[in-house]
Homo-oligomer: A and B are copies of this chain.
Amino acid sequence: MKKVVGIILNNSKKNELDIKNIENKGDPHTAIASKYRLIDFPLSNMANSGIRNVAVMLGNYSQKLTEHIGSGKDYGLERNINGLLYLEEDYLTLQGLGTPNDLRDLLKNIDYLTNIKEEYILVSGSNFVANIDYKKIFNEECLEDCDMLLLYKKNDQKLRFVNQVVLNAKGVFEDIYYVTEETVVENLFMDTFFIKKEVLIQMLRAANRSGILCMNAFLRKVKREITIKAYEYTEFAYYIDSPKSYYEANMAFLDQKIWQQIFNVSRRLIYTKNSDLPPTAYGPRAVVENSLLTSGDEIYGQVKNSVIFRNVKILDNSTIENCIIGDNSIIEENVHLKNIIIEPNCRISSNTTLISSPENPMVIN
C-alpha cells in the first residue's frame, strides 16, 4: 500500500439536513462502542491496511478531533516524514452548506493533493463502523486498469437521503446519485473510493472550471472515458446518521458475532486514545448481563443489554436496560432507565425513572 495515500472526510452533516437541532451523532468525534470514536474506524482501517500517509479533514470539531487523534501515535501513524496530516474544510462545508458528494473540501486542498507522490488516493468518510481490509480490496480490484473504485453495500439499514450506486444488469457501474425522495435505496455508497491521483486532480480542475462541485455529476459525464468500478462490501458496516442509527449500532456490538468481526480480527485492531483509567470494578451486589463495559466503570447496580462508556458509575439499586451511558456519567441510587441514551458527563439523580421506546430512544444530556 505504499502506492496509496488516505484522506478522511467528514460526511456526516450531508446526511443530516433534516435533524439540525439535536447533537449530530455522525460526527467524526462521536463516541461509540464503550471506548471508541467514529474517526477511530477509518484511521485504524487505513493504518492496518499499510497506508502510511493519512490526511484528516478538520472541520468545526477540530479541537475535539485533534485532541483525540493527537499525533496519530495510537494508530501507528506518527512518522517523522508524513504520517498523519490535517487538512482544512471549505468555508461552505464549515457552515454546513455542502451538498452530497461535494468536491469543495478536496478542491480547497488541491495543492496538497497535487504534491502527493502516491499513485492512488483512498478517500473515506467517517460516519460508519467497520473493520475493512483496504489492502485486500485494492490488490484484488484496483491494481489493474482501474481509475476509480467505489465501495457500496446493501442498504440493510434502510437509510434514506443517501447516495445510491446503480449497476447495470452485468453488475457494471452505471451511475451514482443522491436520493432525495423517501424511497429506500438498494446499493448504498459507502462514501469511500480509491481513485488514481491524476484522475482526482483532473476531476477537481474540471469542477473548478465548471462550477459543478458534485462528484456524482462529474462521474456521470466521464463514465465512458475513465474506468469506474463498483465493489460491494459484504462484511458488517453500520452507518451512523441519527440517534436511531447510533443507538442501533451500539446495540449491534452486543451480538458476539458482530463484536468479533469488528474487534477481534487478527492484525486489524481498532485503535483509540488511551484513557489510563483503572479496570472496571463490580460491587458485591452488581448484576450485569449481555453488556459491554470498560475502564473506569464502577458497577453496583443492575445492567442489562447495555453499552457503558468510560468512567461511568452506576450506584446501588439502580437498573439499566437497553441503554447507552456516556463517558463520566453517574447514575445515582434507585434509578431505572430503559431504552435511553445518556450523553457524557450527565448525573441522573436518585429515584429517577426514564423509559422510552427502542424505536425512538430518548437522548438525555
**Would A88 and B60 count as touching, CB distance under 8 A?**
yes
The smallest C-beta distance from A284 to any residue of chain B, in angstroms, reads: 32
**Would B86 and A63 count as touching, CB distance under 8 A?**
yes
Q: Which of A65-73, A119-127, A216-224 contacts B (4 or more CB under 8 A)?
A: A65-73
Tell me the bound Cα distance from A62 to B86 in angstroms: 7
For chain A residues 56-85, which have a beta carbon within 8 Å of chain B?
58, 60, 62-63, 66-67, 70-73, 78, 80-81, 85
A274 interfacial contact with B, CB 8 Å: yes
The smallest C-beta distance from A271 to any residue of chain B, in angstroms, reads: 14
A87 interfacial contact with B, CB 8 Å: yes
Tell me the bound Cα distance from A188 to B48 in angstroms: 52
The smallest C-beta distance from A76 to any residue of chain B, in angstroms, reads: 13
As for how many copies of this chain the complex holds, the number is 2
For chain A residues 67-117, which have a beta carbon within 8 Å of chain B?
67, 70-73, 78, 80-81, 85-88, 91, 94-95, 109, 112
**Would B87 and A78 count as touching, CB distance under 8 A?**
no
- Closest Cβ neighbor of A81 among chain B residues: B276
Chain A binding site: helix, strand, loop or mixed by DSSP? mixed
Tell me the bound Cα distance from A58 to B276 in angstroms: 28
* Residues of chain B lying within 8 A (CB to CB) of residue A63: 85-88, 109, 112
* Residues of chain B lying within 8 A (CB to CB) of residue A58: 58, 62
* Residues of chain B lying within 8 A (CB to CB) of residue A73: 71
- Closest Cβ neighbor of A55 among chain B residues: B63
The smallest C-beta distance from A25 to any residue of chain B, in angstroms, reads: 19
Residues of A within 8 A of B (CB-CB), count: 24
* Residues of chain B lying within 8 A (CB to CB) of residue A109: 63
The smallest C-beta distance from A189 to any residue of chain B, in angstroms, reads: 27
**Would A78 and B85 count as touching, CB distance under 8 A?**
no
Tell me the bound Cα distance from A276 to B79 in angstroms: 13
The smallest C-beta distance from A361 to any residue of chain B, in angstroms, reads: 26
The smallest C-beta distance from A23 to any residue of chain B, in angstroms, reads: 14
* Residues of chain B lying within 8 A (CB to CB) of residue A95: 91
Tell me the bound Cα distance from A109 to B86 in angstroms: 19
Tell me the bound Cα distance from A70 to B94 in angstroms: 23
* Residues of chain B lying within 8 A (CB to CB) of residue A78: 70-71
Tell me the bound Cα distance from A184 to B88 in angstroms: 38
Tell me the bound Cα distance from A81 to B68 in angstroms: 10
Known contacts A80-B274, A80-B276, A276-B80, A85 near B71 by CB under 8 Å: no
The smallest C-beta distance from A117 to any residue of chain B, in angstroms, reads: 15
Closest 9 CB pairs of A and B: A71-B71, A66-B86, A62-B88, A63-B87, A67-B85, A63-B88, A62-B86, A71-B78, A70-B71
In the complex, 25 of the A-B residue pairs with CB atoms within 8 angstroms, ordered by the A residue number, are A58-B62, A60-B88, A62-B62, A62-B86, A62-B87, A62-B88, A63-B86, A63-B87, A63-B88, A63-B109, A66-B66, A66-B85, A66-B86, A67-B85, A67-B86, A70-B71, A70-B78, A71-B71, A71-B72, A80-B274, A80-B276, A81-B276, A86-B86, A91-B94, A91-B95
Query: Apart from A62-B62, A80-B274, A91-B95, what 18 extra A-B contacts exist at CB < 8 Å?
Result: A58-B62, A60-B88, A62-B86, A62-B87, A62-B88, A63-B86, A63-B87, A63-B112, A66-B66, A66-B85, A67-B85, A70-B78, A71-B71, A71-B72, A71-B73, A71-B78, A80-B276, A91-B94
